[in-house]
Amino acid sequence: LISSAIYLLPDMEKISPEVVANIRRKYAEASQKLSESTRRSVEVNDISRNGKVEDFLALAEKAQESERSNYLHMAIFKAVDSDTDFERARNIIDEKITEPDERKREISFVEWVHSLYAAEQGRIEEALASLARLESDDERARTLGYIIETAVKAGNKKIAAQLLEKALGAMPPQSETSQ
């Protein structure tokens, strides 16, 4: 409960600085009595709700294996979702993730989000550039479908038509079958 109230303190402080000072004191006292694992859990919950990319990266540095991967994914997600900083997300992948399958998943995630975001903004060349960074034809085709759908939903029917035309032009020729 106190942990949740901490987020309200800046607004509460304007109304009653004395109450906020008391809450901060009680929170500090309660934190000292918590076990190390509980303190870590409270820290992770706090960062998960309000953390910045750097906070997740700091947690990843302290963590082991799957927990580290989870924090790195959170940092990447925060970079693309809240900050729309796709280059930062790519740098995290390049610098911090060495396992090939994990790299592939994270790259696919970042480029998928980037292509959709760019399409929503009407920046088709940027969306297509992001699309080109995907590894498989299947991923590119699926993502292009999402981009076209996003453009249609955003009312950009002209852009959707251009994308569909590009998609059809990129398809390999159909081979004829004999009867």
Residues 45 and 77: their CA atoms lie apart, in Å, by: 16
Question: For all residues of the chain together, what is the average pLDDT?
Answer: 83
Residues 6+ apart with CB under 8 A from 48: 74
In this prediction, residue 109 carries a pLDDT of 92
Residues 6+ apart with CB under 8 A from 38: none
- Determine the distance from the C-alpha atom of residue 42 to the mean position of all C-alpha atoms in its chain, rounded to a whole number: 22
Supply the pTM of this predicted model.
Answer: 0.69
Percentage of the chain beyond pLDDT 70 is 91
pLDDT single digits (tens) 63-78: 888 889 999 999 999 9
**Average pLDDT value for residue range 11-33:** 81
In this prediction, residue 91 carries a pLDDT of 96
pLDDT single digits (tens) 156-179: 888 888 888 877 776 666 655 555
In this prediction, residue 79 carries a pLDDT of 94
The answer to whether 86 and 79 are in contact (CB under 8 A) is: yes
In this prediction, residue 2 carries a pLDDT of 54
Look up residue 113 and give its two tokens.
Answer: 């989000």
The answer to whether 45 and 74 are in contact (CB under 8 A) is: no
In this prediction, residue 76 carries a pLDDT of 96
Residues 89 and 27: their CA atoms lie apart, in Å, by: 34
